[in-house]
Amino acid sequence: MAVAPRTPPSKRDWSWRSQAFRGLLYQILAVALIGGAVWFLAHNTAENMRIRGIKSGFDFLWAPAGFDIGESLFPFDSNNPYWKAFLIGVSNTLRVAVVGIILTTILGTLIGVGRFSRNGLLRGLCQAYVEFFRNVPVLLQLLMWYLLFTELLPDITDAKHVGPFFLSKGGLSFPEPLWATGHLTGVIGWGLGAVVAWFYRRWAQAKFEATGQLRSMFWVPVVIVIACGALGWIIGGAPFDFNMPKKGEFAIENGGSLTPEFMAVLLGLVLYTAAFVAEVVRSGISSVARGQSEAAQALGLSKGQEMQKVLLPQALRVIIPPMTSQFLNLTKNSSLAVAIGYPDVVSIANTALNQTGRAVECIAIIMLVYLTTSLSTSIFMGWYNAKSAIQER
Amino acid sequence: MAETIVFQSAPARPAPVKTEGLVPWAKANLFANWQSTVTTVIVLGVLLYAIPNFIQWAFLTATTVPNADACRAPGVGACWGVVTEKYRLIIFGRYPMDEQWRPLVATLLLLALLVASCTRAFWNKWIIVLWVVVVGTFFALMYGNVFGLTKVTTDRWGGLPLTIMLSSLSMVMSFPIAIAVALGRRSALPAIRTFCTIYVELIRGVPLISVLFMASFMFPLFMPQGVTVDVMIRVLAGLTLFAAAYMAEVIRGGLQAMPKGQTEAAASLGLSYWQTQFKIILPQALALVVPSIVNNFIGLFKDTSLVGIVSLYELTGSLGLALNGDADWRPYKLEGYVFITLIYFAFCFAMSRYSLWIEKQVNKSKLR
């Protein structure tokens, strides 16, 4: 008996047995469920706010803030509006994050590489560092540094000083160069030097590919950049005036200064995150097969070329994605500054929240700030990662 | 005439260089070349300066007398008296003194449960029953109001029990959410995939503290009129949602590592989507990511120190609670910090060693 071949179900099969139909149904259900939940929460919030008499909206941003901020990159007083306070908070967050990321990368890389040292003592020290700093909550570390800076350092009146640097409960004071046109021309010189160095590298690379003659790809560009910067500085009149800190009656006057809050946040975040970065670097380096380095030596590459052309490009591929998430972690952890009173965006939002009662708006601002930073960092790192990924055919 | 050849033995080769023992080790690892020697001298110099000073401060001149006057005496180093005096307040927070055996027993039970969960012999469905029983007992012991135990409201809970409870419960509760979200992000249905992606990216893009603020300030507004939820439950919910996003990414990593052939083989056997996921893919994928899950738990354990900011006094918060209001002991906060640092370190270090060990265990099947 011949079995009639089963006809495949037609495209539009509105039955429970059609996968497409079930898929559609599940999705409609999910959208309805989530939409319903959001509506329920929003409705409750609106109702609660109406009953408790809480105003909503972002109009409070234009009202005077009414509180002072301990440290800011630009002038602020309590008559300034809230939006300016938030702006200062964001700038303070970014200041800690950017400086912290740079220092963390340096320290973490050093420690990660140190774990491959031929010196057993250094190796052990690096491992002990990683194990200790990784296993203690970062908040606790921040609180501890803050305690050290504010309780155990000498009073301002008898600040420790090394040359023009003063360290006390009031923070760190240091000589600050006085801004002059010479600095501007110096920076312009740097910029020009970078452009020249880039062209030099392109030319040297082209020459190498054409003739096989190798030119310095690192030191010559570095010298070009430094020389151009120095030239610009000299053309601008070579300014060399510093705003020196001076011990006054009650405080260290003049000069640049870092508050203990800033130092505690920075130091705590850098030391904590560096432990993770060190692990990332270590795993990246150890992921490159041993044969790669032997093959490079067999080809007669120098140690520097071996590192630059063979080992690093392969290690970077492993290093970059987890490194990105460590940078993002550092940025997000900078929100813990609120615990020791550093005026970052969370701290400002917390104050604004307590003053105005606009919880929804203030928390939305915090989330927006961090989401923007996170997304832009991951987009940038994604671009860089794509650049260093394996070029597959 | 043929020359007679007299047999002469070749001179014996020198004995091989000794490569074991202390001296050869030091030669290879401490004084291999001049750079290494310089490093050794510098590191040794720093250690020889720092370690004796630390020992002097922490042990030789330290005092353990629970008396602030003894600490103020000149020449006294670390004042461990602050720990001997306040340790109950630091470890149990504001829990009533006479009832502190209850958090002690409850925490020990929870710890035993955690250890059991880390043992492969217990990895079966009975562990879920065990969790329900133990967590139920934990809350019964802590909250009281049953079996003749006095009622202790959650605002008096604190210290180490709170730290352990918040981290382990949020971890366990986040697990089913995380599996659902991880499967959702790999789903073929665009709407579900989008929702899951938005959830994960949203949570991972913001700091935990903003989630805790939300749990603390916004959650009460979300509830219908007349419904109030205890702050500890709100924070627990916030932590769970936060942990779920991170856990979902870990699990997704495991799902992605599964070869496609597994799904295809399951499909050719006629298994449905859910059968494929629960009988074929998830068991393998989860075993693969157990070490990452443990690392995630370590992160969460450390992150619970943040709930102090929304006024739940876990270990870090209860230290502040114990010392900030006490003018006598406030100057010795550093010793208190060292004490809780050691507690955190002991837990996290043990878990990270376990993570390394379990990594070897779950990879055993791949080694031949």
Q: Which of B306, B153, B230 is nearest to A335 (CA)?
A: B306
Q: Please report the pLDDT score of residue B37 as a whole number.
A: 87
Select from B210, B223, B337 the Cβ nearest to the Cβ of A144. B337
B246: which chain A residues are within 8 Å (Cβ-Cβ)?
A: none
- The whole-angstrom distance between A242's CA and the closest CA on chain B is 34
Q: Please report the pLDDT score of residue A105 as a whole number.
A: 93
**ipTM score here?**
0.87
- Residue A388 pLDDT more than 50? yes
B341: which chain A residues are within 8 Å (Cβ-Cβ)?
A: 136, 140, 144
The answer to whether the CB atoms of A339 and B349 lie below 8 A apart is: no
- Poorest-confidence range of A243-247, B121-125, B190-194, B283-287? A243-247
A10-54 pLDDT tens trace: 556 677 777 788 888 888 999 999 999 999 988 888 888 888 777
- What confidence category does residue A295 fall into, taking pLDDT thresholds of 50, 70 and 90? very high
A192-210 pLDDT tens trace: 889 998 998 888 888 888 8
- What confidence category does residue B143 fall into, taking pLDDT thresholds of 50, 70 and 90? confident
pTM for the structure as a whole: 0.85
Q: Please report the pLDDT score of residue A330 as a whole number.
A: 92
Mean pLDDT (whole number) for A92-100: 91
Q: Please report the pLDDT score of residue B156 as a whole number.
A: 83
Q: Which of B350, B242, B341, B353 is nearest to B300 (CA)?
A: B242
Q: Which of A335, A356, A370 to mutate to test the interface with B (most CBs of B within 10 A)?
A: A335
- Residue A240 pLDDT more than 80? no
Cα Dmax for chain B? 125
- B281 or A61, greater pLDDT: B281
Q: Please report the pLDDT score of residue A4 as a whole number.
A: 56
- B102 or A243, greater pLDDT: B102
Count of other CB atoms within 10 angstroms of residue B360: 10
- Chain A residue with CA closest to B316: the answer is A140
- Residue B122 pLDDT more than 70? yes
Q: Which of B189, B190, B290, B170 is nearest to B232 (CA)?
A: B170
Q: Please report the pLDDT score of residue A1 as a whole number.
A: 44
Task: Report the mean per-residue pLDDT for chain B.
Answer: 86
Q: Please report the pLDDT score of residue A392 as a whole number.
A: 55
A138-156 pLDDT tens trace: 999 999 999 888 887 777 7
A374: which chain B residues are within 8 Å (Cβ-Cβ)?
A: 204-206
Select from A27, A131, A335 the Cβ nearest to the Cβ of B209. A335
- Poorest-confidence range of A116-130, B219-233, B342-356? B219-233
